[in-house]
Structure 1
């Protein structure tokens, strides 16, 4: 199990790298995260929903995403509450205090998935959540040491040296664990190091003497490595010299912002998230992203001046795209009669598309493919749907996406200036991305292949694992023999 001294220490990345390294060796390996809190999610092969980081780790292991890889997913819908998803299905909205008590039940789901994975795979590489030293969350813990103690799992502790204080993070975390938990930690990995390793070596020697634990390796800072974020919103500067400017509001409950990774990486696109109290700049394309609390985020948009900015943008001829929750915001009304995302009620939409949306209890979860049709341009597209909203209205008759299952998806304004879709991952397919960028005004658009870039990043990670970590020690922890012949990547 990989646990971290902090959030964003590198747990997700290290697990992905270990999974790809083991896959190279021909070891049947599965990723596992007992409990995840994230608004970036993915649809699984068994029709459920898991954290997007676990879907990426599954790709590293050469597997389709499965709900057993992340049996408990929490999707925050406020500062104190979240939707609780067990084995891929939403079971309730809970306040943090209520969920703290519910964790005894959630542990049963965690252990059931653990048993199934251990029966199917030679190795299981587990990711913790946050830090195991969160004293206020130790009781009934299922995400870190509580899980490790329950299943008798060895632990590697990873820390990020780039943010400073790495030795304090490691020693302090270890000191806050119980004696049995301290014994479970088999070594440390230091992540994101840049510089001369010889200058770090005295610190590593001290750390090993002080704790009695080995340093299993120091991973370098991998410049340009870009993988699907577990939850944190990237803050990229605008790309100088770009031919197309795209902006999106950084909604408080933005979901699946990985939709825009292909745009952030495009050499001809300057993409930027605009946060609260920031001036809303001019752009060629505005994208309204998905949201876990659509009505609340719509109110945030209005409070931060987006409604007026969008109207001005359209008057100047700019294009507007809504994805999932963004589609719902563009309609005339959003109704939540069951109080699925907050207080029951309804909200007036932006009124730019002739449709209305009602949130229903049954969440729609699908992996889909089909064709994107924008004027004379037709491009293959694939993506996934994760939404409770059911939309109805005349704008849906001009759907920009025709799916292979016979359904039409999305809506379009009469003048073609505003389009919307329920599909996440719309920009990941190069042909669909290029078609959307041409619609937005980028002539001769050539889009990056997001899947190919993910594969390149995973291979870089595995190379770093093989070069910089103590493989023999890792093999011993995994119960593998060092004489097993490696397989070609």
Structure 2
């Protein structure tokens, strides 16, 4: 018997598709349903390493956690990692195949479509339910031809679609009705209902609009999800919105918001920590005084290194270190801290070399093969246990690596620590996620008494809050019957 398939599409980017899929996966998992998440095509710089040794969007790894299954490449068969405004690295079934501009990828979609349908077939053959996440909006009419991310996929596999809209943005009824109006007749029929997300206020005041929407479209509103304050869930790609300065935070952390910043979920534990005030510092902003600077990962190390210099970060880092501040480089950030970054094959763009910031005695050469590993080990700081993953195509060498930042369980060492104790660099993503590692790093950065937080528990709590919201605010009878669970409501069929 094939799995039931339900697709969640959004009127806009960041409407709540990723969170909705995670919520439905956890809601079904609680009921003993074998459920898998699926995103046919994802464009994101936050990625994860799967159990089968590939690379997928980070949101799908979170959705796998919600479903109670190990992340695998079939959950996100096509991943696009932008490396410029017009181009991206194309990852198929977890492996990088090429860098393409938008026109080249449009021609490549036939191959990508085959990968999507192959993964779909495997998942529906193994699971009871597959909850699918669309990308962007189905109403992007300039991208309709050859679409594999939204309605093109839904039409190909003949599945119903829930359409979600973010009322916190404003214009929610225009978003929903306008999206329907831009769909073809068969695609409009496929939309089986609406979900309104991030509502705050008195639902009674919204009800006349909901009644009008159902009359106007002939489609049900499955429910209105509340705005969940303080939700800890990894973002798919966009940087988190600026938060208010934490009153009483004892440690200030600054992270340059690089144009091609990747895996910024590395900083979720720091953002969540009650004693830490973390700031992403964008273009036009002066690097602020702080206790710790962290250079993040990047999809374009040489280009973002040039961006750092253009925006004064080289001078700011020198001043920061001169006054005793601490500095961490993660992945691309490690490479930037060395003497030079070499790209002889043009992996990231035009072949050539760039001078690094020169704070660590090492050089990096970019190579075609991407290193993808889930790893565990211990920091050389206090021997604190650490778990995480590597995603990089750079190979670093030099005397600085003889004083590593980590010892890994597979016998390797990783990264470097400066002789003066002010700089730590590593290829490991997830550096701050283990409570013990987070506490050791915060003590090293100058925080004397460290409160303990557990990011895994916070993420689990966030997923459970989402599933609770589905239980409380959506028509679960309608969802359950269509997905083959006992229910008395009308099924949602295309």
TM-score of the superposed pair, with normalisation by structure 2: 0.97
Deviation for aligned residue 1:239: 1.4
Structure 1 residue 221 corresponds to structure 2 residue 227: yes
CA-CA distance at 1:11 after TM superposition: 0.3
Post-superposition offset of 1:263: 0.3
Distance (Å, rounded) in 1 between the aligned partners of 2:155 and 2:149: 11
Partner of 1:381: 386
User: Are 2:130 and 1:109 aligned?
Assistant: no
- Bigger drift between 469-478 and 271-280 goes to 469-478
| C-alpha distance after superposition, 1:268-311 (max 9, x if no partner) | 00100000010111110000000000000000000000000000
2-structure distance, mates of 1:114, 1:281: 48
1:204 match: 210
Whole-Å Cα distance in 2 between the matches of residues 304 and 237 of structure 1?
Answer: 24
Q: CA deviation at 1:475?
A: 1.5
Contact 2:12 2:165 in 1 (8 A): yes
Deviation, structure 1 residue 369? 0.3
Tell me the CA shift for residue 237 of structure 1.
Answer: 3.0
| 1:288 maps to 2:320 | no
1:156-195 equivalences under 5 Å are: 156-195=162-201
Tell me the alpha carbon deviations over residues 385-437 of structure 1, each in whole angstroms, 9 at most, x when there is no partner.
00000000000000010000000000111111111000000100000000000
Q: How many Å apart are 1:146 and its aligned residue?
A: 0.1
SS at match of 1:378: coil
Is 2:124 aligned against 1:118?
yes
Write the distance in 1 (CA, Å) between the matches of 2:103 and 2:76: 22
Task: Please point out which of 462, 465, 479 is paired with 2:467.
Answer: 462
**What are the superposed Cα offsets for residues 247-276 of structure 1, whole Å, 9 maximum, x if unpaired?**
010000000000000000100001000000
Q: 2:52 aligns with which of 41, 46, 60?
A: 46
Task: Tell me the equivalent position of 1:486.
Answer: none
Q: Matched residues in 1 for 2:333 and 2:452: separation?
A: 23
Question: Quick check: 1:143 aligned with 2:149?
Answer: yes
Alignment of 1:355-366 (within 5 A): 355-366=362-373
Q: 1-side partners of 2:130 and 2:267: how far apart?
A: 30
Whole-Å separation in 2 of the counterparts to 1:151 and 1:478: 16
2:480 matched to 1:475? Answer: yes
Q: How much does 1:449 deviate? A: 0.6
1:29 and 2:35 aligned = yes
Q: 1:244 aligns with which of 245, 251, 269?
A: 251
Name the residue aligned to 1:67: 73
Instruction: Give the Cα separation in 1 of the matches to 2:365 and 2:435.
Output: 32
Q: Distance in 1 between matches of 2:71 and 2:244?
A: 32
Residues 1:12 and 2:29 are matched in the alignment:
no
Matches within 5 A, 1:52-451: 52-234=58-240, 235-374=242-381, 377-451=382-456
Q: Residue 101 of structure 1: CA displacement?
A: 1.2
- Helix, strand or coil for the counterpart of 1:252? coil
**Structure 1 unmatched ranges of 5 or more:** 484-489
Give the conservation status (yes or no) of the 8 Å contact 1:368–1:383.
Answer: yes
Is the CA contact (8 Å cut-off) linking 2:57 and 2:79 kept in structure 1?
yes
Q: 1:481: Cα distance to partner? A: 2.9
Asked if the contact 1:237/1:272 (under 8 Å) is kept, the reply is: no
Separation in 2, partners of 1:452, 1:145: 36
Alpha-carbon distance between aligned partners in 2 of 1:365 and 1:139, rounded to the nearest angstrom: 33
| CA RMSD across the alignment | 0.8
Tell me the CA shift for residue 84 of structure 1: 0.1
Alpha-carbon offset, residue 482 of structure 1: 2.6
TM-score, structure 1 as length reference: 0.98
Question: In structure 1, the residue corresponding to 2:99 is in which secondary structure?
Answer: strand
Give the Cα separation in 2 of the matches to 1:393 and 1:180. 60
Runs of 4+ aligned structure 1 residues displaced above 3 Å come to: none
Cα distance in 1 for residues equivalent to 2:432 and 2:362? 24
Equivalenced residue count is 481
* SS, match of residue 364 in structure 1: strand
Instruction: Indicate conservation of the 8 Å contact 2:478/2:487, yes or no.
Output: no
Are the counterparts in 1 of residues 45 and 262 from structure 2 also a CA contact under 8 Å? yes
Question: Does the CA contact (< 8 Å) of 2:337 and 2:358 recur in 1?
Answer: yes
SS in 1 for 2:380: strand
**d(CA) in 2 for partners of 1:467, 1:47:** 37
1-structure distance, mates of 2:245, 2:424: 24
Match of 2:3 in 1: none
Deviations 1:18-53 (A, max 9, x none): 000000111000000000000000000000000000
Q: How far apart, CA to CA, are the structure 1 residues paired with 2:139 and 2:128?
A: 30
